[in-house]
Amino acid sequence: MCRGSVVIHWRQYIEASRQDEPMPDQQSAYQCPSATTDPLRLLRQQLQQWAEELGFQQIGVTGVALAEDEQRLQQWLAAGYHGEMGYMADHGNMRSRPAELLPGTLRVISVRMDYRAPGVELAGALTDKHRAYISRYALGRDYHKLMRKRLTELGNRLQQAAGPLGFRAFVDSAPVLERALAANAGLGWIGKNTMLINRKAGSYFFLGEILTDLPLPVDTPDRADHCGRCTACLDICPTQAFVGPHLLDARRCISYLTIELKGPIPTELRAGLGNRIFGCDDCQIGCPWNRFSKPTTEADFTPRHRLDKATLLELFSWDEQTFLNRTEGMPIRRTGYENWLRNIAVALGNAPASLDIQAALQQRRPLATPLVQEHIDWALQQQLSNTINNS
């Protein structure tokens, strides 16, 4: 291998491209047998190999232009669809302008990583109303740290090859329009359910980004709308959160209600939660493209504490210390113990009438916060109504 000589060649080429100077004489530079006439393209190919070695299923590169996406974001915020997620409106236009987040940014490297664990039920788990449904991305280890560590390693390898460069890795850790950037990088298209969908892999994957000042060649986005006339994701939504194709009112979305919302869940939306206590996957379960989704090979995404099979009563019995112990290093920790009980109380109210459920609700009530008590009272009323209707 003559990698060292190629690195020198890349650095000459890259420095010239940054300064808008004529490129180094290709004939005067030492030529490795594997080198191409465009060292940045060779580096892009190497980046692909590194990404695969680090466990990413796909990688793409795009520029920083997001003018149309910025306009759509502003309209969405103006309509108030973000609810209590004030952070979506923070930082001005930085979310749609990567170069403001990291000055000098010329390219965004976008990656995806599958998370659906083998053998974990999806739609089937929603039919058993005594079981708790937790969004399938949240059953294992928190993906933020895992992916950020690997993205940083990918950036370090890039820097070792190309020489000093500016880069930062992000995984939901900064204001970034990750789905729009991933679509521009050729990783898929944004479906009617606002998820990024890949024709060969569905949508059960995480996204991450590296912002860099290295002018890598960009990938070609797929601008076709492969959703066609299908509206399965819109029709299946339990709380009718979609205003229309590509437009989500987060205030009605179960993921927002069970994770982001800090106060009471609106009464008119509680029945729609069913047995979902953390997040929701319905608009992905209903998407025909997810028949092509691939199970993850990451052991860290395997369900912990059998949470894919846990009952509502089992989880409702956890005290706060048990909750903290068993959700350590998991996305579920984010909702907090109070909202955890709030969500489960609603799900218990939606469950078939049961003396065991009613006893558990009554036992928990005196120890609960006012917020949880209100949801317990609602659940007990629902249980009573279910008992009368079944008698």
pLDDT of amino acid 92: 86
pLDDT of amino acid 15: 63
User: Which residue matches tokens 């892009």?
Assistant: 44
Asked if 330 and 141 touch (Cβ cutoff 8 Å), the reply is yes
Chain-centre distance for alpha carbon 114: 11
Specify the 3-state DSSP secondary structure of 207.
strand
pLDDT of amino acid 11: 58
For residues 298 and 308, give the distance between their C-alpha atoms in angstroms, rounded to a whole number.
17
For residues 208 and 197, give the distance between their C-alpha atoms in angstroms, rounded to a whole number.
15
Residues sharing a CB contact under 8 Å with residue 245, sequence separation 6 or more, in sequence order: 192, 227, 231, 234
pLDDT of amino acid 18: 56
For residues 269 and 386, give the distance between their C-alpha atoms in angstroms, rounded to a whole number.
18
Which DSSP symbol is given to 55? Answer: T
- Alpha-carbon dihedral sign for residues 252, 255, 260, 261: positive
pLDDT of amino acid 5: 40
Query: Which tokens belong to 99?
Result: 């170069």
How many Cβ atoms sit within 10 Å of the Cβ of residue 119?
9
Beta strand 133-134 with 276-278 is parallel
pLDDT of amino acid 12: 62
How many residues would you count in the chain? Answer: 391
Amino acid at 41: R
Domain boundary assignment for the chain: 1-37
Give, in degrees to the nearest 5, the angle at Cα 297 between 131 and 130: 0
Of 207, 203, 138, 201, whose CA–CA distance to 176 is shortest?
207
pLDDT less than 70: residues of the chain:
1-37, 391
Longest dimension (CA), the chain: 90
This prediction's pTM: 0.90
Asked if 81 and 180 touch (Cβ cutoff 8 Å), the reply is no
Residues 122-161 pLDDT 10s: 999 999 999 999 999 999 999 999 999 999 999 999 999 9
Catalytic residue positions, numbered: 172
Asked if 143 and 113 touch (Cβ cutoff 8 Å), the reply is yes
pLDDT of amino acid 278: 98
pLDDT of amino acid 145: 92
For residues 357 and 205, give the distance between their C-alpha atoms in angstroms, rounded to a whole number.
35
